[in-house]
Amino acid sequence: MKLHLRGAVRNVTGSCYVVETPSGLLMVDCGLYQGARRLEELNWRPFAFSPADIRWLVLTHAHIDHSGLTPRFVAEGYERDIIAHPATCDLADIMLRDSAHIQEEDAAWAEKKWRRGGRKTARPPGPLYTLEDAEAAVARLRPLPYDQVVDLAPDVRLRLIDAGHILGSATVEVSVRDGDRTLRLTFSGDIGAGESPIIRDPQPPPTTDFLVMESTYGDRLHDRTQARNERFRAILTETLGRKGCVVIPAFSVGRTQELLYALNELEQAHALPPFTAFVDSPLAIGATRVFRKHPECFSRVILDDIASGDDPFDFPGLRMTQTVEESKQINHAPPPYIVLSAAGMCNAGRIRHHLINHLENPNDLILFVGYQGENTLGRLIRDGRSPVRILGRQVSVRAKVRAIDGFSAHADRDGLLRWFAAIPQPPALTLVTHGEPRASFAFRDALQEQFGARALVPELGGALDLSPDNRDLQQQVAEQENRADRAQWVPVTDAGGAELEEA
């Protein structure tokens, strides 16, 4: 059995893995690269495998870095089912259409710029994919509930396990019978932080021979929930109390809903000065509707709230802005107010317009509550860059900038280690993926030191023979273990409310 590592290796986007089985090729995730231009350019490269040759495609969850290339994959010849949890199917329906809209808008802007520039350069290539392509991908989505075992072929078996990351997120367990032996391969997907008031905690992983495990926060710790909530209240109180505005770049799926829940709790407790809150993201509005459709994914806390008659995603003063005109009117709203807008890393969407309107005001606050990819606009602002370029303009950063990583839907280093520790028997090999190099190598070291685990940070584009007796693979692990690189990967933490700082 061979595993091909086609994305989310030594970076956190573009998730894509292909397993060679005796009955055909199985792809796990078909995600979009996001962030630095060098990464986004990878979205245009030819697929390593012809889409027509892939027999099965499984999505761990609906986030665009895990699902966002499926429209192009279908447009280029994939004609079979796209398997995912029912909630992922519903979220992907709206998210892929939204992504296609962004692709078409970006292509139209590039075409307009090219024409204005006198057509002196090569003509832009058009959209990566269209709304029609997204609709074709959505039509192929096929729901598979958690813990239901399905035989894809006589020798290939599949199961989805609740990963607790966002609504419908899954760990993917694949069992492949090859001759007289069965090999088990598990893809962690994105692992939830646990203690979410909305969705259930991650379920324990299964016994497996080989594990592909994420490491997004493999080198740092989050604030614990109580400390996070108090810090969130204090930061908002400071800005709202001086009649300032708070701009929160927030991922539309998962993060926005958790923030609405937190604001609902604070509003009910009268713990904040009076304010208006705007959710300025059609995608987030649609995603919130999807959340209400899937109570089977909810935690006991939110189920109890609903039973008591409370709508956990609504409170007095909340406004949902669907249209562009409604979005523009936010600029004329009297402060203080809070804006939740996408995209979470500020690389697209309406958030860029809000940043232009508020970054230069020292009375306002830009509050980051999620991961900021390398070289994204959000990362540059969070790390103190000024000025920054937004929509062709140089904008000085005079507003206050804060970060709370405790709202992350990803487990931190200790959460990842707890999830690994729950595996009944240690895997023969763990491949550490879905993290920037610093985080992946730090987490590899932690696995080795705490569990004596055989762990490897693979290379992007590599193909590994997962036979247990593969000596070449054993040598790769040994060589990486012997390198004197541990001192390069020093964990950082925001525990206790400190700002993240590079060690």
The beta strand positions in 66-169, using DSSP E, are 82-84, 141-143, 150-153, 156-162
pLDDT digit of tens for each residue in the chain (503 aa)? 899 999 999 999 999 999 999 999 999 999 999 877 888 899 999 999 999 999 999 999 999 999 999 999 999 999 999 999 999 999 999 999 999 998 998 899 889 888 888 888 888 899 999 999 999 999 999 999 999 999 999 999 999 999 999 999 999 999 999 888 899 999 999 999 888 888 999 999 999 999 999 999 999 988 777 888 899 999 999 999 999 999 999 888 888 888 998 999 899 899 999 999 999 988 888 888 888 889 889 888 888 888 887 788 888 899 999 899 999 999 999 999 999 998 888 888 899 999 999 999 999 999 999 878 778 899 999 999 999 999 889 999 999 999 987 787 899 999 999 999 999 999 999 999 999 999 999 999 999 999 999 999 999 998 999 876 776 777 777 777 666 454 344 333 333 332 222 22
* Three-class SS state of 500: coil
How many Å apart are CA 58 and CA 72, to the nearest integer?
Answer: 15
What is the model's pLDDT at position 492? 36
How many Å apart are CA 151 and CA 153, to the nearest integer?
Answer: 5
Q: Structurally, what CATH architecture does the domain formed by 2-220+409-487 represent?
A: 4-Layer Sandwich (3.60)
What is the model's pLDDT at position 126? 92
- The residue extents of the domains of the chain are 2-220+409-487, 225-407
Which contacts of 192-196 are long-range, i.e. CB under 8 A and separated by 24 or more positions? 192/163, 192/164, 192/165, 192/166, 192/409, 192/410, 192/411, 193/164, 193/222, 193/408, 193/409, 193/410, 193/411, 193/412, 193/415, 194/164, 194/411, 194/415, 195/225, 196/164, 196/258, 196/299, 196/409
What is the model's pLDDT at position 89? 97
Task: List CB contacts of 57: < 8 A, sequence separation 6 or more.
Answer: 26, 27, 30, 70, 73, 78, 80, 81, 82, 83
- 225-407 has the same fold as 2-220+409-487: no
How many Å apart are CA 67 and CA 448, to the nearest integer?
Answer: 31
Backbone angles phi, psi at 71, to 5 degrees: -60, -40
What is the model's pLDDT at position 287? 85
Q: Which fold has domain 225-407?
A: Rossmann fold (3.40.50)
How many Å apart are CA 338 and CA 343, to the nearest integer?
Answer: 16
- Supply 26's token pair: 């199985």
What is the model's pLDDT at position 475? 72
What is the model's pLDDT at position 482? 65
pTM as predicted: 0.85
Give, as one character, the DSSP assignment of residue 26. Answer: E
Task: List CB contacts of 450: < 8 A, sequence separation 6 or more.
Answer: 417
How many Å apart are CA 368 and CA 361, to the nearest integer?
Answer: 17
